[in-house]
Structure formats: structure tokens, C-alpha cells
Chains A and B, each alone.
Chain A
Amino acid sequence: MFRKSDTEPTMQVSPSKSQFVAVASIAAELSAVMEVAKEISLAAANAKAIAFRAGEKAKGFQPITDFINELAKETIALVNDINEHALKLYRLTVKEHRMAEACKRFEKVAASAESALHAASLRESLQQTRQRHADCHREFSRHVSELLSQLADVMHPARAARVIAANSRIEASQAGEYLQSLQAVAESVDHAAQIIHDKVHKCRGALSMIGTAA
């Protein structure tokens, strides 16, 4: 059903590309998903107006417009939740980076201060920082899994929207002089759903790579 689904190239996260950039890219893709979901909502409002004008000729189209609107609302709500999660993930990325950096520098201090009178006092700080780093790393991995699962949820309304778009085309074909307007609505919904699907797919690909690397 989906033209590019499994063959769509995922957002590239090469080992050299920092986790920061990857997480920020995911946030940017999600922001685009939100915009597209709003477009679907607008398309639903337009379709409703056209169907109302078309009267009996577009009787089958009227309930479809409500479905489209519901799907758009559902997507917006899901993306809002995901955005909060993505923000948490970004903060954790910063925190983890700082701790990793601290561990690295502490190890450097330990190596260069071997002869210092109080060198041993660093041991506890180093252990505590390593522990905090490990905790943070675990928390990060947990958030990646949760975010992956939420992104899977967003795929459902996008898939449903494409089914509805197919039905809309059939109903539009019986709407006489309103055929073109309603077909345009169906195309617009179909296109938006495809974009959402592709973007979410990219996000999942990038997240999986971060999760694997983490």
C-alpha cells in the first residue's frame, strides 16, 4: 500500500555524527509532522464545506470529513506527546554528554596527578561520576525505546488517513460538478499522510541507530 515504506532511506546517523544532531534532527522532523497534521485538519474543514454545498451529491463524503478531522486531531495530540518526549531525550543527551566529558577529563586528571599528595581523593568522585553516567545512559536507552513505541503509534492514523483518502476518491467520483474539488481534498489527505509516514519512518530509523549505538 505504501509506495516507499520499507525502501525509504532512513535519516543518516553516521558514527561521527553526534547524538545531539541526531536528536535535534528528530525534533525537526516531528515539527514538520505537526505542520502536515494541521494541513490535514484544514483539508478536513474544506472538505466539510464542499460536501455541505454539494448536498445529496456528496452524501457519502460527509462522514468521511469527520474521520479525516478526527485523525488529524489524533495525530496532533500524539505528536505533542512525542515532542515532549523528544525534548526529554535531548536534555538527557546533553546530560549524558557532560557526564561522559567529565569522566574523560577525570581520567586525564587521575593519570597526570599520580604523584600528587591527594591523588587518591579523586577516586570517589570518579566512581560517582561513572555511576551517574551509567544511570543516565540507562535512562537515555529507556527513553529511546519509549519514543520508538510512540512513533509506531503515530503510524496508525497516517495509515488510516490513506485508506480514508482512497474511499474519498470513490465518493468524490459520484459528486458531479464537485468531483474535482473533492478529489483534490482526497489527494491532499493522501499526500499529507504519505509525508507523515515517511517522516516518522525516518525518525524511527534514526532513533533505532542511536539506540543501537547507545
Chain B
Amino acid sequence: MKMTKIYEGAYQWIMYGRDPYKPDNIIDTNQYVVRTDKRCLLIDPGGIELFAPMLAAVLHHAPVDEITDLFASHQDPDIISSLGLWDQALPHAKLHAAALWEGFLRHFGCESIQYVPIADNGGVINLGSVELQIVPAHYLHSSANFNIYDPQAKIFFSGDIGAALEAPGKPVFVENFDAHVEKMRYFHQRWMPSNQAKRAWIDRVRGLDIDILAPQHGRMFKGDDVKRFLDWFEALQVGIAV
């Protein structure tokens, strides 16, 4: 699995993705890790098929007992169907996920890991040396959906927002925004149900200082491409299937 360090300071952000051994018929996903001196947060750790390559990759950066926190942006299988396996590997860890999805996510197996429910208005994940903000992104696309903002690293994990469907092995950053648009259009129009939710999210996110916008599928946006994405998304009509 490809590992890309996207922030290096008092702690690190690492992006994991482009797993060459991933079965062809499952969607490619990006996983993110925030590594502090003693703790490690896995953001959208992925589906069952990804558990082994993901844990093997994380072991390059953290020992098992320092993987203390998991975050699930929403309830989809590509986000967190590996939960039952993490539950065996990390019995003392915490899972930060929507309160609304607790009864659903527990179907994946969550007997040992502590479920930390996130209220609709978001919250924080305190990793000691860094405090991350949990930003509501409801209905984009899931009905209880959250993003993560790190004001120090200026990284915004946007979940499915900003996602693109493209061939495997592509670069991790957008290089030509205009060429990238068509890889995102259908995904956003079809998976995102609400223009109202989209406008509320854009208003909220425009107020944040972001260097990197990091989605769960496709490529990350950096620098001016972050604003380009927000402008493009604002103008896009979503919820096209009705």
C-alpha cells in the first residue's frame, strides 16, 4: 500500500491508498492516519478486505498498542466494515462515530472497542499534542456524516466530498483541476442528495483555513485547488436521481 506523508510537524498526517493487491471489484479508498508521539488515529480505516494491508502499513509508523483511536465518517462498508477485526486487534481503542449510527455500526462487531458517539453538531478528538475538530457534513452523502479539520496542519478530511472515481494507481494529488472535474461530477451528483446540505457545508468550510482537502476516494486537493473545488461544488446541482 502506498504511504504518503502529507504533514510533518510535532505530529504527522499520513495518507494510505492505492493498494496494488486490492480486489478489482471493490472501490479504491484512501485511509488517513494522524500519528502523535504516543497515539495514532485511523481515519476511515476501510473495509474488511483492506484490514490486513492497512494494519501492515500502519505498523511502519506505530506499534499496535499506540493505535488508540478510530474515526468513521459514516456507516458505509468501505469506511468501517473492518471494525470487527480492529475490535480483536485493538481491544482498548476508541471508535469515534456518529451517535445516530451506533446501533448500525455495532453490526460489524464492536465488543471491546469503546464507541464514542458524536452528536449531530460535531465535537473534537483530543490526541494529546493535537486537537482535531469534528465537522458536521450531514447528508453529504450519509444522513449522519462528519469531516475532520486539523487547524494546525490545515488539513481537512472531507470523507466522500471531493471523491473521484478513476483508474487504480493514479497520483494522490490533483494535478490539473479542470481535467479532474469529470471524474468527480457523477459521484457528487448521484451520491450527494441535498443542495441545501451542500450549501450549508460550503458556508462552513469556506471559513476554515485549509491547505489540503483530503477525500476518502480519488485525489487530494492542495493550495488553490481547494478553493476551485469549493466553487465547483457550489455550482453543481446534486440529487439528480429524482
Please report A residues at the B interface, Cβ cutoff 8 Å. Answer: 98-99, 101-102, 105-106, 108-109, 112-113, 116-122, 124-125, 128-129, 132
Q: How far is the CB of B152 from chain A (nearest CB, A)?
A: 25
Point out the residue from A109, A116, A128, A132 that lies within 8 Å of B52, measured CB to CB: A109
Nearest B residue (CB) for A104: B52
Task: Decide if A129 touches B88 in the complex (CB within 8 Å).
Answer: yes
Chain A-chain B contacts (Cβ-Cβ < 8 Å), number: 63
Ordered by A's residue number, 11 sampled pairs between the chains whose C-beta atoms are within 8 Å are A102-B88, A109-B59, A112-B56, A117-B59, A117-B61, A118-B59, A118-B64, A121-B64, A125-B64, A125-B88, A132-B88
Asked if A113 meets B55 with Cβ closer than 8 Å, knowing A98-B109, A118-B62, A124-B64, the reply is yes
Quick one: CB contact mask for B72-110 with A, threshold 8 Å, 1 for yes?
Answer: 000000000000110011110000000000000000010
Other A-B contacts than A118-B63, A129-B89, 14 sampled, CB-CB below 8 A, are: A102-B88, A105-B55, A106-B89, A109-B52, A109-B55, A112-B53, A116-B56, A116-B59, A116-B60, A118-B60, A118-B62, A125-B88, A125-B89, A128-B91
Nearest B residue (CB) for A114: B56
A-side contacts of B60, CB under 8 Å = 113, 116-118
A-side contacts of B53, CB under 8 Å = 112
B interface SS class: helix
A-side contacts of B89, CB under 8 Å = 102, 106, 125, 129
- What separation, in Å, do the CA atoms of A188 and B37 have in the docked complex? 75
Q: How far is the CB of A159 from chain B (nearest CB, A)?
A: 42
Is B51 an interface residue when CB atoms closer than 8 A count as contact? yes
Is B65 an interface residue when CB atoms closer than 8 A count as contact? yes
Asked if A105 meets B63 with Cβ closer than 8 Å, knowing A98-B109, A99-B88, A129-B88, the reply is no
- What separation, in Å, do the CA atoms of A125 and B85 have in the docked complex? 11
Nearest B residue (CB) for A94: B109
- What separation, in Å, do the CA atoms of A96 and B89 have in the docked complex? 15
- What separation, in Å, do the CA atoms of A98 and B89 have in the docked complex? 12
Task: Decide if B52 touches A112 in the complex (CB within 8 Å).
Answer: yes
Please name the 3 residue pairs, one residue from A and one from B, whose CB atoms are nearest each other, closest first.
A121-B63, A102-B88, A113-B56
Q: Which of the four size classes fits the interface of chain B?
A: 20 to 34
Q: How far is the CB of B48 from chain A (nearest CB, A)?
A: 8
B-side contacts of A101, CB under 8 Å = 84-85
With most chain B CB atoms within 10 A of its CB, the pick from A99, A101, A109, A112 is A109
With most chain A CB atoms within 10 A of its CB, the pick from B57, B85, B88, B109 is B88
Asked if A122 meets B85 with Cβ closer than 8 Å, knowing A105-B51, A112-B56, A113-B55, the reply is no
B-side contacts of A117, CB under 8 Å = 59-61
A-side contacts of B56, CB under 8 Å = 108-109, 112-113, 116
Q: How far is the CB of A214 from chain B (nearest CB, A)?
A: 20
- What separation, in Å, do the CA atoms of A35 and B117 have in the docked complex? 43
- What separation, in Å, do the CA atoms of A122 and B63 have in the docked complex? 7
Quick one: CB contact mask for B37-70 with A, threshold 8 Å, 1 for yes?
Answer: 0000000000000011101110111111100000
Q: How far is the CB of B65 from chain A (nearest CB, A)?
A: 6
A-side contacts of B84, CB under 8 Å = 98, 101-102
- What separation, in Å, do the CA atoms of A102 and B90 have in the docked complex? 11
Task: Decide if B59 touches A98 in the complex (CB within 8 Å).
Answer: no
Asked if A121 meets B65 with Cβ closer than 8 Å, knowing A99-B88, A116-B59, the reply is yes
B-side contacts of A106, CB under 8 Å = 88-89
- What separation, in Å, do the CA atoms of A121 and B88 have in the docked complex? 14
A-side contacts of B85, CB under 8 Å = 101-102, 105
B-side contacts of A108, CB under 8 Å = 52, 56
Point out the residue from B61, B65, B88 that lies within 8 Å of A98, measured CB to CB: B88
Q: How far is the CB of B82 from chain A (nearest CB, A)?
A: 9
- What separation, in Å, do the CA atoms of A99 and B51 have in the docked complex? 14
Q: How far is the CB of B47 from chain A (nearest CB, A)?
A: 12
Point out the residue from A113, A124, A128 that lies within 8 Å of B59, measured CB to CB: A113
